[in-house]
Amino acid sequence: MAVWSLAGRPADAVRLLSARLRQAKPVAAEVALLVTALGSDDATVRDRAEAALGKFGEAAVPALRNGLVGGTAEVRRRVERLLKAVEGPLSDPARLREVRAVEALEYAGTKEARAVIGWLAGGAPEARLTREARWALHRLTKRPVSGAPK
């Protein structure tokens, strides 16, 4: 498994993964505008907004949930479809790679790996990557740093 392979080479894992991973950025304002656009009178605007929201993935969930309240039937239908796609199992390969990367860094457990996880944990709170990093940090606080003198 690639996760264990990376974890077995902590210095390489930190170098490789820290170069590839990006901290999740807040997107609430942009997503809120797109949710509003789902209620447009223009079908093209609604379709474009739905497509754009789909690209935000889990970061759009809080705004999408707000769109369920008081929205028209058309807005609710689109929001429910987006939520179903986003909140299901980790089917997006990019999101799965991020989760596996945090897992490899957690298993490596070095001071440097913990620093990368800590940086990722500072991202947008609604993002899966941020939540995974926070959970990993929580678990890591219960065990000693790998490679530390005994």
Looking at residue 103, what is its pLDDT? 93
Query: For residue 138, with 0-12 CB atoms within 10 Å meaning exposed, 13-18 middle and 19 or more buried, which class applies?
Result: exposed
Q: Is the pLDDT of residue 150 over 70?
A: no
Q: Is the pLDDT of residue 41 over 80?
A: yes
- Provide the percentage of residues in the chain whose pLDDT is more than 70: 93
Q: Is the pLDDT of residue 78 over 90?
A: yes
- Provide the percentage of residues in the chain whose pLDDT is more than 90: 39
pTM of this prediction? Answer: 0.68
Domain ranges within the chain, ordered by starting residue:
2-23+91-140, 28-87
What is the pLDDT confidence band of residue 62, given thresholds at 50, 70 and 90? confident
Topology given in CATH for the domain delimited by 28-87: Leucine-rich Repeat Variant (1.25.10)
Taking residues 27-49, report their average pLDDT.
Answer: 91
